[in-house]
Copies of this chain bind each other. A is one copy, B any other.
Amino acid sequence: MNQPRLARREDMPRVLELIKELAIYEKEPDAVEVTLETLEFDGFGKHPKFTCFVIEVDEKVEGMALVYMRYSTWKGEVLHLEDLIVSQAQRGQSLGTQLLNEVVKYGKRLGVKRIGWEVLDWNESAIQFYENKGAKVMREWDVVQLDEKGIDNYLENIN
């Protein structure tokens, strides 16, 4: 097995496959609105909006981790791990661990004061894994989202 490496533009078709595979698994295939062109432009254009690491098995990308910087009013710039995906076929081979290791090394190189991500509160094995690694699961904090339709409704109601 190879070590994780930085993704290249030409990895994006496979990265999009992994994103879609996970969305199908989560029974939300239609939620993926991002296109290959968007990923290529946003990740490898003049002002990259994310950094992506991939890991290969037999020269095929089987896992990816996508990160970007966020801004904490307490800590300044912090690193956020948006997604860590391993293909169904390659689960349990520690690809996820290797990708997470790479992300933490990357955060250290950047000198950030914090690395954050999100986890499903019923995913006890993931929570256990993260806590064993020294991460703090902030069970009190929930994620709130206002989607496109929600934005329009919101604005209609204040005008």
Contact = CB atoms under 8 A, between A and B. Distances in A.
Interface of A: 19, 23, 28, 31-34, 38, 42, 49-50, 66, 68-77, 80, 82-83, 101, 104-105, 107-108, 112-122, 127, 130, 133-155, 157-158
B153 A141 contact: no
Given A33-B113, A76-B38, A146 B104 contact: yes
Given A49-B71, A74-B31, A142 B119 contact: yes
A150 B138 contact: no
A75 B33 contact: yes
Nearest to A118: B141
Given A108-B151, A150-B136, A74 B142 contact: no
A151 B104 contact: yes
Nearest to A141: B143
